[in-house]
Amino acid sequence: MQKEDQKGLTVKKEQDFSEWYTQLLQKAELIEYSDVSGCYILRPRSYSVWEKIQLFLDTKFKSVGVKNSYFPLFIPESLLKKESEHFEGFTPEVAWVTKTGDSKLNEALAIRPTSETIMYTAYSKWVRSYKDLPLKLNQWCSVVRWEFKHPVPFLRSREFLWQEGHSVFSNEKEVEENTLEMLNFYAEAYEYLLAIPVIKGRKSDKEKFAGADYTLTVETLLPNGKAVQGATSHNLGQNFSKAFNIKYLSDKEKFEFAYQNSWGFSTRSIGVMLMMHSDDKGLVLPPYVAENKLVIVPILFDKTKAEVMKSANEINDLLKEFNPILDDRAEYTPGWKYNEWELKGIPIRIEIGPRDLDKGEVTAVTRHNFMKQAIKIKDLKKEITNLLDNMQKDLYIKSKEFLNFHIKETKDYKEFENLVNKNNIVKINWCNTTRCEENIKAKFEGVKSLAIDLKEVPLHGEKCICKEEAKVVCYFGKSY
């Protein structure tokens, strides 16, 4: 028997969240650090999650007429400057290429921080008539934003993977409907696929995307008390069409500037999922994004080894639709294997030994709650499906209860301070002014507006915590 090393997490999630997360990423084989600060290698165990997200969202996009495309990584400086507000918003984060070999480039090239400018140059050539609209394109790619803040793998990295969609419409109504439609797709990806509840809302003018009329967002709260922006959908109005001369000939034989939006969902979602569900034993994966949904661990003794392995292989074949792992390594004990697969987040463990065989059953253990259940081999397919579905629901319900518990309402400034300092999201009637928002941000370190409620509005005469008339209902909190 080879020596069994200690591979598990050595800190608890509640005691040192940052160290717990760092250990989880490495010991569960999710990332590897590269030689460039803020840039990470996504190992197969995390990249497979991204593939599930891609498939889910790509199917949604295509169902409403979006087509995939690809645009260059390099953007000339002159293009990036075409929409001034947009350029100013991204300037601190842009990485530039200024030379090739020993030769200086005639014009600096930005490494794609986002693709509005390079895509819209092409759109101005393609859009000629109302018959060309709507134009809905998406690309799956990486972007670079050279953040100067402390990098956090998945949540705040200098290069990350995402999709960015960019659509063009002939009227304001269509762009508004589509901007909300994309946000709803994002909310569904979080809630259905990743088992994470979200708050859907609108960003304040201070927090909106640079160059947009408005930004819609999905937000959630992590177990360390910090809120996080999950994905965004931006109504760009005619700001970019005017800057890039995207016009169409209407059915009234008149040239009109088009209406546009852009929308994106990134690998940040993986970090949100990891932080939300994982525990002191390691990774907890929602079954719907788990590459391997179960592991089979045979309990082997010399006298019954052949018989148990025969059944284990038969079960492995029976459950192949769940992409099982058959762990028949002889050099490790069953207990060591249990710990390893718990660390790596396999949703269900199936234990099978000679006593199980005598009863025609196996023992199934669900990763999120460690509940054991004896299941007849003849019922395995059906019962495994039920266990996976129930685990997915359990994870969502637990996260939803956590979020709901930590959303607090107040109308009082002092109580607001007390609530945000206790790691809550605070819901207030708000005057929706930048002045008030900046005052809050200055007074409470790390606190900012997260989302303006899309439906709820203050009653007539309600006041903001700054005593001015309330215009909207807004969520505030400490945020990444």
Q: Determine the pLDDT at residue 66.
A: 98
Residues 56 and 106 both lie in one domain: yes
Indicate the pLDDT class of residue 3, thresholds 50, 70 and 90: very low
Residues 145 and 181 both lie in one domain: yes
Residues 305 and 438 both lie in one domain: no
Indicate the pLDDT class of residue 91, thresholds 50, 70 and 90: confident
Q: Determine the pLDDT at residue 147.
A: 72
Backbone angles phi, psi at 103, to 5 degrees: -100, 135
Q: Determine the pLDDT at residue 4.
A: 47
Domain annotation covers residue 414: yes
Domain annotation covers residue 9: no
Indicate the pLDDT class of residue 5, thresholds 50, 70 and 90: low
Residues 244 and 378 both lie in one domain: no
Question: Per-residue pLDDT averaged across 313-338, rounded?
Answer: 96
Q: Is the pLDDT of residue 354 over 50?
A: yes
Q: Determine the pLDDT at residue 6.
A: 57
User: What torsion do the CA atoms of 70, 73, 77, 79 make, to the nearest 10 degrees?
Assistant: 0
Q: Determine the pLDDT at residue 166.
A: 98
Backbone angles phi, psi at 56, to 5 degrees: -65, -55
Q: Which of 358, 390, 422 is the last residue of a domain?
A: 390
Domain annotation covers residue 24: yes
Report whether 290 contacts 193 (CB < 8 A). Answer: no
Q: Which of 277, 300, 318 is the last residue of a domain?
A: 277
Q: Is the pLDDT of residue 450 over 60?
A: yes
Residues 121 and 40 both lie in one domain: yes
Task: Give, as one character, the DSSP assignment of residue 70.
Answer: -
Residues 127 and 159 both lie in one domain: yes
Cβ neighbours for 164, distance < 8 A, ≥ 6 positions apart = 114, 115, 138, 139, 141, 143, 262, 263, 264
Residues 26 and 141 both lie in one domain: yes
Backbone angles phi, psi at 96, to 5 degrees: -115, 145
Mean pLDDT of the chain, nearest integer: 95
Domain annotation covers residue 401: no
Q: Is the pLDDT of residue 1 over 60?
A: no
Sheet holding 135-144, edge to edge: 67-68, 135-144, 159-169, 259-266, 227-237, 214-221, 199-202, 447-453, 472-478, 425-430, 407-409
Residues 343 and 255 both lie in one domain: no
Question: Per-residue pLDDT averaged across 128-146, rounded?
Answer: 97
- CATH code of 172's domain: 3.30.930.10
Distances (CA, A) of 100 to 72, 94, 105, 166: 17, 18, 7, 31
Domain extent at residue 167: 17-277
Residues 258 and 332 both lie in one domain: no
Looking at the DSSP bridge assignments, the partners of residue 109 are 76, 97
Q: Which of 44-53, 142-151, 289-298, 409-418 has the lowest mean pLDDT?
A: 142-151
Q: In this prediction, what percent of the chain has a pLDDT beyond 70?
A: 99
Residues 239 and 185 both lie in one domain: yes
Residue 459 φ/ψ region, left for φ over 0, alpha for ψ in the -120 to 50 degree band, beta for the rest: beta
Query: What string of DSSP letters covers 189-229?
Result: IIIIIS----EEEE--TTTSPTT-SEEEEEEEE-TTS-EEE
- CATH code of 425's domain: 3.30.110.30
Residues 188 and 220 both lie in one domain: yes
Task: Count how many domains the chain has.
Answer: 3
Task: Measure CA 210 to chain center.
Answer: 21
Question: Per-residue pLDDT averaged across 222-232, rounded?
Answer: 97
Residues 237 and 298 both lie in one domain: no
Instruction: Render pLDDT for 237-255 as a digit per residue (tens, 0 to 9).
Output: 999 999 999 999 999 999 9
Q: Determine the pLDDT at residue 80.
A: 86
User: Dihedral sign, CA of 101, 102, 106, 107?
Assistant: positive
- CATH code of 326's domain: 3.40.50.800
Indicate the pLDDT class of residue 49, thresholds 50, 70 and 90: very high
- The pTM (predicted TM-score) of the whole model is 0.95
Indicate the pLDDT class of residue 427, thresholds 50, 70 and 90: very high
Domain annotation covers residue 380: yes
Q: Determine the pLDDT at residue 188.
A: 98
Domain annotation covers residue 2: no
Token couple for 18: 């940052």
The angle that helices 305-318 and 380-405 make with each other, rounded to 10 degrees, is 70
Domain annotation covers residue 12: no
Residue 195 φ/ψ region, left for φ over 0, alpha for ψ in the -120 to 50 degree band, beta for the rest: left
Q: Determine the pLDDT at residue 140.
A: 98
Domain annotation covers residue 134: yes
Q: Determine the pLDDT at residue 2.
A: 45
Indicate the pLDDT class of residue 92, thresholds 50, 70 and 90: confident
Q: Which of 390, 422, 437 is the last residue of a domain?
A: 390
Q: In this prediction, what percent of the chain has a pLDDT beyond 90?
A: 91
